[in-house]
Amino acid sequence: YEYVFDKETVIDFTPDNENVDPGANVSDDSAGKQDLELPITKMKPQLLEAIDKNQVLIVVGETGSGKTTQLPQYLVLDRNWKVACTQPRRVAATSVAKRVSEEMNVELGQEVGYTIRFDDKSNEQTTVLKYVTDGMLLREFLADSKLLKYDCIMIDEAHERTLSTDVLLGLLKELLKIRPLTGDKGNGDEQLRPLRLIISSATMNASKFSEFFDGARLFNVPGRRFPVDIHYTLQPEANYIQAVLTTIFQIHLSQPVPGDILVFLTGQDEIEYLNSILQDINCKLQDTNCIPMLITPIYGNLPQDQQAEIFKPTPATHRKVVLATNIAETSLTINGIKYVIDPGFVKIKTFIPQTGMSQLSTVPCSKASVDQRAGRAGRVGPGKCFRIFTKWSYEHELELLPQPEISRTNISSVILLLMSLGVKNLLDFPLLDRPSIPQLSKGLENLYLLGGLNSKGQITHLGYIMNDFPCEPNFLKVLYVAADKFGVLEPVLTIVAMLHETQALFSNEKNLDKASMFPNVVSDHMLLLNIYNAWKENNCSKSWCVVNKIQSKTMSRVENIRKQLWRYCKNRSEIMDLNNKHGNNTVGSSPISLESCIIKSFISGFPNNIAIIGRNGQYKQQNNSNISMVLHPTSLISCRMKTAGMKPYKIILYHQLIMTSKEFMRDCTPVYKEEWLKEMVPQFFVS
Ligand code: ADP
Ligand code: MG
């Protein structure tokens, strides 16, 4: 499908006159007389007093009021505390840490730092304020279950209800009892400093946190927000990307500057796609008297130097168009936005307990989310929000609140973590929302299948190693087997690192001729290995990347991930020993057997990701689930089938399932021999 910009096409929007924007609390006449002080600054004394008096405080406030950037600074500067502030998203953690280090005039990585997976810019000695992803703070519990480093933990963006945030709140609830405000009194011989917890959240969900912490105090930071006019489409739009494009131009050609546009999209692929189209059109507009657009994408994987672009003030001669994932919903505040375009979708990962499969899919947002998004248009003055859906849909089809991640995800790694922290009964562990019983049993079953738990449900030696490993337990199993059984740790490590970055590997994946790259390769896994090796052989050169349509920045990220995983394995000398016992007898010299060893290793780590072709030619999981899957068109196997006209492979191992019009299997390898399944996972694959 080619998206075109056609000046004649317009989308009819209808303004919503009844209920403009319940959140607005500033009247129109105060627009323009903007006061530059952040709302939280006025509240500082009351806020600090409330923090002093309460072990748990829930801070609620409008996005942009200063919770994330200011509040931790107060704690560090006025109270001399060591503080960790969690963020659900990597980009938020890094960009906020950078901003705060600038505000405090210190070097990033010293007094103020961040820790995200595969990237640690903090210093054990000097860092007093650390922004950290919620997942990484969870890992800190493993090293120090009392979090003795910190005086105060701030769980930010708690309303997002990520799995890690929910588990952290449970662990902290217990920990706070061990480190009460009264210090060492009544605590036997242990002299523990008090620990405080601040939960910061958008308004949705806030009272639930208070209940969870036995009626903890809510502190409201009154924000300012200008009214936002909401507009809906008259009809549902079949193709929201096209509708977004048209809407951008409707605004751009009819509305004066300044007034930047913020567009909510579901992921990197959509953002980059729209970005390239807009850049194209921008070039064509050059000779007209139309103001040029400054197009700035923002998503999780965007290199840090480009992330900074969204915060730069827009030159008066331009209009900024920010293409964002829902990171811009509450995590990052971008000044100058006057128009929001919201198709009302979000991409989430869901786990299907019946089958053990996880899939990525694009689903409608909740009402709470689309209201948050609309609010982004009202920070600098009155704004407008264009919703690419109907008012009827808003009122009748959207859920009230987003579903917490814990109710829809694979909880295997959390089970492992809690068990290794000594939680005996998972059902007793305090949680805001409990996972369902099928979720829990599938999670346990999964761990048993991987060898992380034994048949008595106890954590095994392998389980402890899995828990310690910075990726999903499945990957550790793959590496362990690759080392132990075959001595092919290195190439498998490369593929594991590459699999973390396949979404952004190619410059233009849709129109790429992958088949011609390495003529003898069929499997995507082997393609990834070959790409990495070729890149290394070409001295990691940028020009090699350009010629081969590979994103050089992505390869640098892969190299970084690979290095860290390699270091991890080296420190776990037993993995290295297992690998080295194969000595020079490795299969490395024979490419065919190398491939089979690699595939076998992946089977043992991802037994749930096996698709077997049925009589009707459709792929299904072995346990007769009703879900049919097809190869993703970007899979090298699909390319080969098209060009070489091969018969389909009977068994496929896929890495990811993506639900769009169908269930697509992404990053796939053929399983050439059926007996490999039984050989690698006899508990699971029976004949
Ligand atoms: P909250 O957490 O309450 O949503 P923040 O602390 O994130 O609020 O933001 C407070 C203010 O700081 C906002 O006006 C925002 O625009 C500004 N800000 C935050 N990060 C940056 C940045 N990297 N560059 C410029 N301004 C920023
Ligand atoms: Mg914030």
pLDDT of residue 685: 87
pLDDT at 31 over 60: no
Question: Residue written as tokens 């007793």?
Answer: 428
- In tens, the pLDDT along 164-197 reads 999 999 999 999 999 999 865 555 555 689 999 9
**Rounded mean pLDDT of 127-133?**
98
- In tens, the pLDDT along 363-414 reads 999 999 999 999 999 988 899 999 999 999 999 999 999 999 999 999 999 9
Burial 57-81 (b: 16+ CB within 10 A, else e): bbbbbbbbbbbbbbbbbbbbeeeeb
151 Cα: distance to centroid of ligand 1 (angstroms)? 24
Report the range of poorest mean pLDDT among 17-21, 382-386, 445-449, 533-537.
Answer: 17-21
pLDDT of residue 23: 58
Question: Residue written as tokens 């009194």?
Answer: 185
215: left (phi over 0), alpha (psi -120 to 50) or beta: left
What is this structure's pTM? 0.90
- In tens, the pLDDT along 293-314 reads 999 999 987 877 788 889 999 9
- In tens, the pLDDT along 71-110 reads 999 999 999 999 999 999 999 999 999 999 999 999 999 9
Counting ligands in written order, which one lies closest to the CA of residue 157? 2
DSSP 8-state class, residue 40 = H
364 Cα: distance to centroid of ligand 2 (angstroms)? 23
Residue nearest to atom 19 of ligand 1 (CA): 333
Q: Which residues line the pocket of ligand 1, CB cutoff 6 A?
A: 38, 61, 63-70, 95, 99, 311, 333, 335
Counting ligands in written order, which one lies closest to the CA of residue 334? 1
pLDDT at 347 over 90: yes
pLDDT of residue 516: 86
pLDDT of residue 30: 46
How far is Cα 651 from Cα 457, in angstroms, rounded to an integer?
Answer: 31
ipTM: 0.98
22 Cα: distance to centroid of ligand 1 (angstroms)? 23
Residue nearest to atom 17 of ligand 1 (CA): 333
How far, rounded to the nearest angstrom, does the alpha carbon of residue 345 sit from its chain's CA centroid? 15
* Nearest residue to 311 via CA among 121, 69, 581: 69
How far is Cα 379 from Cα 337, in angstroms, rounded to an integer?
Answer: 7
| Ligand 1 atom nearest to CA at 156 | 2
Burial 416-445 (b: 16+ CB within 10 A, else e): bbbbbbeeeebeebebbeebeeebbebbbb
Comparing 222 with 487, which gets the higher pLDDT?
487
| Ligand 1 atom nearest to CA at 69 | 6
Report the range of poorest mean pLDDT among 404-413, 612-621, 651-660.
Answer: 612-621
pLDDT at 130 over 50: yes
Q: Tokens representing 569?
A: 């394995």
Residue nearest to atom 5 of ligand 1 (CA): 66
Which residues pair with residue 613 across a beta bridge?
619
Comparing 637 with 588, which gets the higher pLDDT?
637
Q: Where are the alpha helices (DSSP H) in 181-239?
A: 206-212
How far, rounded to the nearest angstrom, does the alpha carbon of residue 81 sit from its chain's CA centroid? 29
Is there a contact between 138 and 167 (Cβ–Cβ < 8 Å)? yes
What percent of the chain is predicted at pLDDT more than 70? 93
Q: What is the 3-state secondary structure (H, E, C) of 174-192?
A: HHHHHCCCCCCCCCCCCCC
**Rounded mean pLDDT of 422-437?**
91
Which residues pair with residue 217 across a beta bridge?
57
Is there a contact between 479 and 492 (Cβ–Cβ < 8 Å)? yes
